[in-house]
Chain A
Amino acid sequence: MAVAAPEQRLARLERIWLERPGILGWLTTVDHKRIGLLYFWTTLVFFAAGGTEAMLMRTQLAQADEHVVGPETYDQLLTMHGVTMIFFFIIPMTTGAFGNYLVPLMIGARDMAFPRMNALSFWVFLGAGLFMYSSFLFHQAPDAGWFDYVPLGLKQYDGGLNIDFYALGLIFNSVASTLGAINLVVTIFKLRAPGMSWNRMPLFCFAMLAASLSLIFALPALTADLIFLELQRKLGFHFFDPAHGGSALLWQDLFWIFGHPEVYIIVLPAFGIATSIIPTFARHKMVAFPLVAMAELLVAFIGFGVWAHHMFATGIASTTLVFFAGASMIVVIPSTIQIYAWLMTVNIGTPSFKAPLLFIGGFILFFVVGGLSGIMFAAVPVDQATTDTYFVVAHFHFIIFGAAVFPLLGGIYYWFPKVTGRMYDERLAVISFILTFIGTAVTFFPMHIVGLLGMTRRVYTYDKGLGWDTYNLVETIGGFVIAAGLLLILFNIFWSYRRGEPAGRDPFHGGTLEWTTTSPPPTYNFPVVPTVSSAYPNWDEPDRQEDLRKLERGELVLDAGHETVVSSVNDARFDEVVEMPPESPWPILLAGALTIAFAFLLTSHWFVAGAFLVLTTLMLAGWHSQEPEEA
């Protein structure tokens, strides 16, 4: 029997992996690349919303005694700014957009381990975001800060629906994050191309693994906290009031058991993007690869043990604080190891300072500044003097904006050619870097000073003559400069999508597997399951030649069905070929039912909410009624 020609095999793969055209195709897609793009654009909309909230706040604070917004509106803006940026922008952008799109490509798989659950994660995230933002329509957006301390968050002090939107919206969103995290972990564990043992897995995947495992173990603490809050608010339970044997600090402890790992979840994917960009543009493998991989996991793990450093000023016993001061000092070390590795790699390589590497350079600088102020907080007396001042606001914005968003922006440029098949405009990209870099420094650095001068956080205005005026004005101007830089990036993306030069398969000569396939990748990602014998497979020419020979021979092309390879967890030995589910309407339908259920929980219509939860369960049954065909 004649072996089918490669072109015939590729044509067959195209047909097998083709999804419905048009809007319906997007609504029922299970393709990780499409889901990644859905996440990307949706999170950008939330980024714009969070940015607008920020600019309204900054305009209000630009001068003393301003009246741009009143105090109640300001409280809603500051709360929603934090909630949006953390829960609806950065986490879904890094794990949902970058993680979903890139992880299967980097490990040589055809999709994520659970494609339909992947789609469900997105639609639930969208439902949760819409649920949360619908609160603005009623002028009852959450208004007690993004960490919503009790007793302020209790019904007697915040009687409207504001905090119920907060609690239910975040419980709902955590369903999406948990499902997404489980999917990433199983994908990384089981779907790596044969030969890609742990010591050959890209560092980006280690970062995603660390972030996903952290999400899995951190979110339940928040969920428990929010359940307690809603039970207390809606049904009169007692968890947080000392008069009935509860504890207000219980809220803080549980919140920060989630909240501190959360900030590492925010920054770890950014580390992953940096460790992808640096070897490519330094044209050298990452120095100390095993230590960098371990550092990513260590930051996540030790990060679970530092939570009470957010509570140093609450009056808890010094013997309790000790545990957290010690761990908070040591948790810096893995991050420092990474910084040294990155700098050494650039130093001993032959760097090409294109826009992605510039953003990483900015990231490293801002991360060091933010990290230095961070380690100062590990010293309890310093923390007690500066807590709740703008010094803290400066610290976390240097980390979240400087150290998490900058790599994202660099990553957008870096992978833009892969996703679209076009090159971005390098000159515009460099200008956008300069604008965002200057804007970030000008906006957030003065906050250190004004915080030490006594400006507390979450104030909606301040008196004249305190010496804060100029700093605030400068920060506001800086905010507009950041906005200009970000808008330029957006313009560059749109303009280059239409007019950019064709990028080809591998414009930057990157080391990881996504650069071995076409730009954009075909729906089936790779014509054959790639041959892997190092952590930088695209730099292994013999293996790439072997792939071509495999295609000729028809080996591991998997064109008999909608298939991908599953391997063993530790050493990525070939295990079996599994069939992947085709597109499905169940994820979006289920997410819709769940959104309605949460809406009725909000309004305390328990039976109707229960009915929609039952409907959700029935939909799950419908979903699982479709099984893969077996011989």
Chain B
Amino acid sequence: MTATAVRIARPNGWWGMALFVATEATLFGTLVGTWIYLRFENAHWPPPPLPNPPVLTPTLLTLALLTTSIFMQLAWRAAREWRRSRAWTLIAVAFAIQVFYLSWQLHDFVLAVHAFPPRASAFSSVYVTMLGIDHAHVLVGLLLSAWLLVRIATKITRYRLVALQAITFYWHAVNVITAVVLIVTVLPSV
């Protein structure tokens, strides 16, 4: 019998995370809305002489990030069956991919700030801001995952299980949001 067979509803911690995700998703909704709104105000998007945003590297990186949802979900399944070391390993794999993703993206972000200086135009401002806030959310996710790795290294308890369930949901949300940001930002180039 798994730990959660006793519960009939999702735990409070999951609901708290779901509502927090709702606020963050809404924040990204307004960022994407701002992008679209300003796009309609400009004849050319991006305005000349700015180049089109890069497509290939961000797409490949985002695809890599999306795989971490699978690992986190599998980790959650394993933890529910009290398979601690399997769960830990899966979180660690996801963590490694996420660190790789963010490191590369941060390096490219510095280049983006030079290629699309925010002080030049509204396009650059919203492009850099949207990417920056997305990367900040991935960073928060890394901190949450790091916490999980520390706690689950020793023991899984019902409390830590709820934490894993909630943080897995957070990663699903961040991954979806990142995919949406990617689609929105590469559209001018395709």
Contacts and interface: CB of A to CB of B under 8 A. Distances in A.
A–B direct touch in complex (beta carbons closer than 8 A): yes
Interface stretch (A229-237, A417-425, A486-494): A229-237
Given A220-B26, A224-B31, A575-B9, A624 B147 contact: yes
- Of the four ranges (under 10, 10 to 19, 20 to 34, 35 or more), the interface on chain B belongs to 35 or more
B52 interface: no
Given A114-B16, A235-B118, A627-B159, A250 B37 contact: yes
28 contacts: A114-B12, A178-B23, A185-B19, A186-B19, A189-B15, A217-B26, A220-B24, A220-B29, A228-B34, A231-B125, A237-B119, A238-B119, A238-B120, A238-B121, A238-B124, A241-B122, A245-B121, A253-B37, A254-B34, A566-B11, A568-B9, A573-B8, A575-B7, A576-B6, A576-B7, A617-B143, A621-B147, A627-B157
Contacts of B158: 630
Nearest to B22: A216
Nearest to A183: B16
A312 B23 CA distance: 28
Given A568-B9, A621-B147, A220 B23 contact: yes
B42 to A, nearest CB: 5
Given A185-B19, A254-B30, A190 B9 contact: yes
A95 interface: no
Interface string A183-204: 1011001110000000000000
A228 B123 contact: no
Interface string B64-76: 0000000000000
Given A245-B47, A569-B9, A575-B8, A224 B143 contact: no
B179 interface: no
A182 interface: yes
A630 B129 CA distance: 44
Contacts of A617: 143
B100 interface: no
B38 interface: yes
Given A182-B16, A228-B129, 9 more contacts: A224-B31, A224-B34, A227-B129, A237-B129, A238-B120, A244-B122, A568-B8, A617-B143, A624-B147
A224 B30 contact: yes
A247 B129 CA distance: 16
A253 B42 CA distance: 17
A617 B124 CA distance: 30
Given A228-B129, A231-B129, A245-B122, A221 B12 contact: no
A389 interface: no
B104 interface: no
Nearest to A224: B30
A566 B8 CA distance: 10
B10 to A, nearest CB: 8
Interface in B121-136: 121-126, 128-129
A58 B60 CA distance: 62
Contacts of A254: 30, 34
Contact of A236 (B23, B119, B147): B119
A567 interface: yes
Contacts of B42: 245
A239 interface: yes
A223 interface: yes
A119 B184 CA distance: 39
Given A224-B30, A239-B126, A630-B158, A190 B23 contact: no
A40 to B, nearest CB: 25
A578 B30 contact: no
Contacts of B9: 190, 566-569, 575
Contacts of A114: 12, 16
Interface in B1-41: 6-9, 11-12, 15-16, 19-20, 22-24, 26-27, 29-31, 34, 37-38, 41
A609 interface: no
B167 to A, nearest CB: 12
Interface string A247-270: 100100110010000000000000
Contacts of B22: 216-217
Interface string A552-568: 00000000000000111
A238 B147 contact: no
A170 to B, nearest CB: 15
Contact of B118 (A189, A236, A241): A236
A246 interface: yes
A239 B125 contact: yes
A106 interface: no
Contacts of A621: 147
B119 A113 contact: no
A403 to B, nearest CB: 27
A244 B121 CA distance: 5
Nearest to A570: B9
Contacts of B19: 181-182, 185-186, 216
Contacts of A219: 23
B118 A245 contact: no
A628 interface: yes
Contacts of A217: 22-23, 26
A631 to B, nearest CB: 10
A118 to B, nearest CB: 12
A220 B27 contact: yes
A569 B18 CA distance: 14
B162 to A, nearest CB: 10
A416 to B, nearest CB: 31
B48 to A, nearest CB: 11
A239 B22 CA distance: 25
Name which of B47, B119, B122, B124 has the most chain A CB atoms within 10 A of its CB: B122
A455 B16 CA distance: 48
B69 to A, nearest CB: 23
B118 A231 contact: yes
A238 B12 contact: no
B38 A223 contact: no
A65 B97 CA distance: 68
Contacts of B122: 238-239, 241, 244-247
Nearest to A223: B27
Nearest to B20: A182
A566 B29 CA distance: 32
A621 B27 CA distance: 25
B26 A630 contact: no
A593 B8 CA distance: 39
Contacts of A239: 34, 38, 122, 125-126
A183 B180 CA distance: 28
Nearest to B40: A247
Contacts of B124: 238
B38 A250 contact: yes
Contacts of B123: 245
A375 B170 CA distance: 41
A186 B15 contact: yes
Interface string B101-126: 00000000000000000111111111
A174 to B, nearest CB: 9
Interface string A81-108: 0000000000000000000000000000
A550 to B, nearest CB: 22
B35 to A, nearest CB: 11
A496 to B, nearest CB: 38
Interface in A158-182: 178, 181-182
Interface in A16-35: none
